[in-house]
Amino acid sequence: MVIGECSTSTAPRFFPMSRLRKDAAGILVRRLSLPRRSWASSKVQSFRTLAVRASNPLPAAVASEASAKVIDGKYVSKLIRDEVAAEVSRMKEAIGVVPGLAVVLVGERKDSATYVRNKKKACESVGINSFEVHLPEDSKEEEVVKFISGFNDDPSVHGILVQLPLPSHMNEQSILNAVSIEKDVDGFHPLNIGRLAMRGREPLFVPCTPKGCIELLHRYGISIKGKRAVVIGRSNIVGMPAALLLQREDATISIVHSRTQNAEEITREADIIIAAVGQPNMVRGSWIKPGAVIIDVGINPVEDSKSSRGYKLVGDVCYEEACKVASAITPVPGGVGPMTIAMLLSNTLTSAKRVHNFQ
């Protein structure tokens, strides 16, 4: 556990997001895009307004009063889960197929066990079948691969997720390679990542957390094309695929990592920041260009005597400072985390639809 306070000020303020307006064909609900119109008609300031103001930064005294729009991942993830649930039942009625997700957990890490439990619950809530294998910490790599192969061959399983991190004696690469590319709902298989990196190629699945980040930008009507984006962190599961995705969306990308010399300066150039570092409150207000949009992926436990758990979760971005400078920001918790789960459900549904050729 790390202590990482950046300010003493209070918890994030949430602005209510305007409700989606359904059109006659229900298109907006199914695609769940949040049209700018709905923002403009709501009482909160639109991103565009904020962005315009940002290009003309206000004097410090006034700017310190400003507060970024909160990008509410919990709310958007609920919309997506409802949409997945509707599609799952439509498929079940039409062709009698129920999507299935298999989760492989190795070892006794408490956080991993909690994540797996949450994923199972999320599956249940949308009608996806879930299968779980829990193997002891000292299992052999071949045993894990054996279970993966079983799921590869099982037609009732459409997605396979191997919970990371694996115990240190295991070779993560060979285990992830064992997952059939058609069932790789995490999008970690090198073939899926390779296709993500190549122009004109389409991966079967895109990694859930980066996909959730982009989905939030889309659904809040935040344009990416031509923008300068900085991704802080280059891990295989978040930073690197997030940068690839942003590039596919026509942003100009910089990637900051632990060897970067002028991280603050590079970050300050960004219109869009995705922080996936695992360092509590690392990105301070002074790192942020006024009006930038911030997607904070970090989930860091820090000591908190006021919480019954003894800790609270904070992001990689110092929220209290950032929300005074940015035009929009994801909170932690309630930002990217719930979107990761929603994307996993969505990828599992996509997989089942693809294999059964169900539109």
Ligand X SMILES: Nc1nc(=O)c2c([nH]1)NC[C@@H]1CN(c3ccc(C(=O)N[C@@H](CCC(=O)O)C(=O)O)cc3)C=[N+]21
What residues are annotated to the active site?
119, 163, 186
Looking at the Cβ atoms of 75 and 358, the one nearer to ligand NDP is: 75
Among ligand X, ligand NDP, none, what does residue 119 contact (CB within 5–8 Å per kind)?
A: none
CB of 232 to ligand NDP, least distance (A): 6
For the chain, the first-to-last Cα distance in angstroms comes to: 46
Contact 271, 55 (CB under 8 A): no
CB closer to ligand NDP out of 228 and 257: 257
Residue 35 Cβ vs ligand NDP, minimum distance, rounded to whole Å = 26
* Least distance from ligand NDP to the Cβ atom of residue 261, Å: 10
Q: Give the residue with the Cβ less far from ligand X, 121 or 354.
A: 121
CB 126 within 8 A of CB 153: no
Residue in this structure with the two tokens 């498929």, named with its chain if needed: 91
- 130: which strand partners? 101
Neighbours of 250 (CB within 10 A): 11
Q: How many residues does the chain have?
A: 359
- Residue 186 binding: pick among ligand NDP, ligand X, none (C-beta 5-8 Å cut-off by kind): ligand X
Task: Tell me whether residue 280 or residue 291 sits nearer to ligand NDP (CB atom).
Answer: 280
Specify the residue, 239 or 291, whose C-beta has the smaller distance to ligand NDP.
239
Shortest separation between residue 256's beta carbon and ligand NDP, angstroms: 5
Chain residues binding ligand NDP by CB under 6 A are 209, 232-235, 237-239, 256-260, 263, 276-279, 297-300, 336-337, 340
- From the list ligand X, ligand NDP, none, which binds 115 (C-beta under 5 to 8 Å, kind-based)? ligand X
Contacts of 145 (CB under 8 A, 6+ apart): 174, 175, 178
State the minimum distance, in angstroms, from the CB of residue 255 to ligand NDP. Answer: 8
Q: Which CB, 97 or 302, lies closer to ligand X?
A: 302
- Least Cβ distance, residue 333 to ligand NDP (angstroms): 9
Query: Could you tell me the CA-to-CA distances from 297 to 11, 73, 81, 128, 144 in Å, in that order?
Result: 18, 11, 20, 26, 29
277 binds, among ligand X, ligand NDP, none (CB under 5 to 8 A by kind): ligand NDP
306 binds, among ligand X, ligand NDP, none (CB under 5 to 8 A by kind): none
What type of residue is 190?
P
Sequence-separated (6 or more) residues with CB below 8 Å from residue 285: 318, 321, 322, 324, 325
Binding partner selected for residue 257 from ligand X, ligand NDP, none, CB under the kind-specific 5 to 8 Å limit: ligand NDP
Distance (Å, whole) CA 356 – CA 359: 9
Residues 6+ apart with CB under 8 A from 238: 207, 209, 210, 276, 297
Closest CB to ligand NDP: residue number: 235
Q: Would you say 237 and 164 are in contact if contact means Cβ atoms under 8 Å apart?
A: yes
Query: Which parts of this chain interact with ligand X (CB under 6 A)?
Result: 115, 161-164, 186, 208-209, 299, 313, 332-334, 337-338, 340-341
